[in-house]
Amino acid sequence: MRFADYAKIYVTAGKGGDGSAHFRREKFVPRGGPDGGDGGKGGDIILKCNKQLNTILDLRYKKYIKAKAGEHGAKSRKTGADGEDIILEVPPGTVAYDAETRERLGEITDDGDTLVIAEGGKGGLGNWHFKSSTNQTPQFAQEGKPGEERVVELELKLIADVGLVGFPNAGKSTLLSALSEAKPKIADYPFTTLEPNLGVVTFSDYRSFVMADIPGIIEEAHQGKGLGIQFLRHIERNNVLLFMVSAETDIEYEYKALLDELKAYRPDLVDKPRVLAITKMDLKQGFKLNKKLHFEDEIPVIPISSATGHGVEELKETLWEKIQNARSEEQ
């Protein structure tokens, strides 16, 4: 399935049904009073969370969405039927905005959650509501109210326990493939990953966590350079960030450059728990680095090789500990 993390849709909720201006007409009741019923409510347009989904691609092909109007009121004070709601299923992590005002309409995070993004109009009142001591035979009824109409922007921010952060070709996809059943595209050139991938990392004792492979960031990505800017939003929803730097590069420089990109995009991202994995250690003789590394922060540094499995179990346990600490702080 193709991935999409943005969609713009034009939504119109249903109009409320008109109230009825009807008078009771029965045998032996020559002067029956007003008995016009109320109009039904117009249909809403609702987002509903489906945890089985991981893309909003389908909504790119449903640009114009209109709910049904409520039915008109009828005699004997019968209320018209409500218009049918339209349910749009979206994955967890979907955020809705009003495209014109940029008002945040809400977000969907848990399976089954719903969010009304356009509310149907109220039905008009029937004429019996307007009977009074001075007007025993009201000849009018209310019209139904129009439904909300707006342009809605949907953004998907993947929800994962661990987000992989690194420059292109740092070995992120290889690690995700080695630790989970995810099968991202892997090749020995930059920008192989053009869309985020999710994988479930499992332990022999049935523990598990979700890991997201974010397409490679490049320097100045926060300014729109390269591919990374399109996917930086996915990092926001991860509990722990796993920085990945190849052993073949200037490790200290690349780690700082990645931190700087996150700070420039959203400063609070660097407050998330972090782990640094030095990848491709199988290319180093004896799986050892040539020099001692120095970092300003006290980040756990774990040399690994996804190809041989070197250091991978230690990395998994370190990430698990960080995840549990992050969860306990949220409670």
DSSP notation for 83-148: PPPEEEEE-TTEEEEETTT--EEEEE-STT-EEEEEPPPPPPPPGGGG--SS-SS----PPPPPPP
What is the pLDDT confidence band of residue 1, given thresholds at 50, 70 and 90? very low
Q: Is 115 within 8 Å of 107 (Cβ atoms)?
A: yes
Q: Residue 282 to residues 251, 291, 315: CA-CA distances in angstroms? A: 16, 16, 16
Instruction: Enumerate the domain spans of the chain.
Output: 1-156, 160-330
Mean pLDDT in the chain? 84
What is the pLDDT confidence band of residue 25, given thresholds at 50, 70 and 90? confident
pLDDT digits (tens, 9 = 90+) for 225-269: 444 455 677 777 788 999 999 888 888 999 998 888 888 888 888
Q: Helix, strand or coil for residue 228?
A: helix
Is the per-residue pLDDT at 220 higher than 60? no
Given the candidates 3.40.50.720, 2.70.210.12, 3.20.20.140, 2.70.180.20, the CATH classification of the domain at 1-156 is: 2.70.210.12
Query: Model pTM?
Result: 0.68
What is the pLDDT confidence band of residue 30, given thresholds at 50, 70 and 90? low
Tokens of 109: 């995070």
> Can you identify the CATH homologous superfamily of domain 160-330?
P-loop containing nucleotide triphosphate hydrolases (3.40.50.300)
pLDDT digits (tens, 9 = 90+) for 41-50: 999 999 999 9
Bridging pattern class, strands 94-98 and 149-156:
antiparallel
pLDDT digits (tens, 9 = 90+) for 204-216: 888 888 888 876 5
Q: Is 213 within 8 Å of 179 (Cβ atoms)?
A: no
Residues 20-38 have a mean pLDDT of: 83
Which of 4-13, 153-162, 182-191, 248-257 is predicted with the least confidence, judged by mean pLDDT?
Answer: 182-191
Residue 112: what pLDDT? 94
Residue 193: what pLDDT? 41
Residues 78-97 have a mean pLDDT of: 94
Of 58-72, 140-154, 296-310, 314-328, which has the strongest mean pLDDT?
140-154
Residue 214: what pLDDT? 75
What residues contact residue 128 under an 8 Å CB cut-off, 6+ apart? 33, 34, 35, 36, 37, 77, 138
What is the pLDDT confidence band of residue 190, given thresholds at 50, 70 and 90? very low
The helix/strand count (H/E) of the chain reads as 4, 14
What is the pLDDT confidence band of residue 187, given thresholds at 50, 70 and 90? very low
Of 22-26, 94-98, 162-166, which has the strongest mean pLDDT?
94-98
Higher pLDDT, 326 or 223: 326
Tokens of 211: 């890991």
What is the pLDDT confidence band of residue 189, given thresholds at 50, 70 and 90? very low
The rounded distance, in Å, linking the Cα atoms of 227 and 218 is 8
Residues 60-76 have a mean pLDDT of: 93
